[in-house]
Structure 1
Amino acid sequence: MSLSPLPLGGAAPSATRTPSRSAALALVFGAFVLAGCATEPPPPPAPAIPQYTSPIPASALVGRYGLAAYHRPQDATRTETQARAQCSNPYVITDGPNGGVMMYLADDTKLTEVISKQVPGQPTYIGPAEDPAGGERDRQVISFNGTVLQLKWVDPEIAKRYGIMVYVRCP
């Protein structure tokens, strides 16, 4: 009678087959992979609202304004006169609930709270606090002297339609 070598692990062959160690590890690993697929990862944290300097305080913007607009720079003086004449039907800027002011965004019939925002060394913008300075819904401040405010929409298509908005504080 000849002796045959024993299989790895030192056990004699049996009628039922047991899984090898590598197969068992593969099953355990597969279970962990499937468990990882079944659970959803936590949602990413909400982006922080950037902190801007605010060169124009909300209190400086609140008031009643005559409003007009121009497309050509040579029309700026005439448009300011036209805006002043609109004080009989003023555009009203009021305090917002969170420290900004309430104004209309382009093509929107509801008031939205906006803030004055500026990244140091960049232009000043007026727009929603959650948008980055210079975002598509913002208006760039061309000039503001406390009485006359000139704004230009950042979005080129909207700027083309609306031109430079001139707000003249009503007496």
Structure 2
Amino acid sequence: MNRTALLPRALLVGAIASLAAACAGGNQPPSPQVPAGPGYSSPITADQVVGKWGLAAFHRPEDAARTEQQAQQGCRQPYVINRGSSGGFMMYLADQSEPSEVVSKQNPPGPIYIGLPDEPPGGDGDREVLRFDGSVMVLKWLDKEVAGRYGTMVYVRCPQQ
């Protein structure tokens, strides 16, 4: 056979092979496109914090125990943490009237922070997690001016109703 006769056959074989490969792969779900991670871990999940919480705050460390008791009383008008649309959870940032989606973030083995997912751990807008055991969460604002106004926040999980 001459070369001009082989070219159409080669093209036909290539097209059939491409179609067969496409059909064979059609039964498998497409691979998910996972965006590149921010380079930190998220040790506290949305499932662990979504729910109703009593909330109170203190400015002096010696007031921490009393403030936890006050936060329990706050369940009459609870602070509600909902699930975010991107896997985080919804909380109010300083001086904001609408909640924003936040995540926990950590550069292991360092401290855990709660803040916006696209910012590195430990930024001025973050809160440091001083305590979290599933029923009590204590958060301290990193921004000194914000911390001076809001204090250290104590969240106590409200009983199921």
TM-score (norm 2): 0.75
Tell me the residue number matched to 1:157. 145
CA distance in 2, matches of 1:59, 1:134: 22
Structural RMSD (CA): 1.0
CA distance in 1, matches of 2:125, 2:49: 18
> How far apart are 1:51 and its partner, in Å?
2.6
CA distance in 2, matches of 1:111, 1:72: 27
Tell me the residue number matched to 2:130. 142
Query: Which entry has the higher C-alpha Rg, 1 or 2?
Result: 1
SS in 2 for 1:78: helix
Q: Which of 76, 80, 89 matches 2:68?
A: 80
> How far apart are 1:49 and its partner, in Å?
5.6
Query: After the TM superposition, which residues 1-171 of structure 1 pair with which residues of structure 2 at under 5 Å, given as runs?
Result: 50-171=38-159
Structure with greater proportional helix content: 2
Note the alpha carbon deviations across 1:104-141, whole angstroms, 9 max, x for none. 00000011000000001211000000111011111000
Note the alpha carbon deviations across 1:45-81, whole angstroms, 9 max, x for none. xxx7623211111100101000000011111110000
* Residue-pair matches, total: 124
User: Identity across aligned pairs (percent)?
Assistant: 58
> How far apart are 1:161 and its partner, in Å?
1.0
Q: Structure 1 residues 130, 49: closer, same or farther in 2, change over 3 A?
A: farther
Letter in 1 for 2:157: R
Note the alpha carbon deviations across 1:9-49, whole angstroms, 9 max, x for none. xxxxxxxxxxxxxxxxxxxxxxxxxxxxxxxxxxxxxxx76
Q: Structure 1: give runs of 5+ residues left out of the alignment.
A: 1-47
Q: Structure 2: give runs of 5+ residues left out of the alignment.
A: 1-35
CA distance in 1, matches of 2:117, 2:154: 22
CA distance in 2, matches of 1:84, 1:115: 24
Tell me the residue number matched to 1:45. none
TM-score (norm 1): 0.71
CA distance in 2, matches of 1:89, 1:49: 37
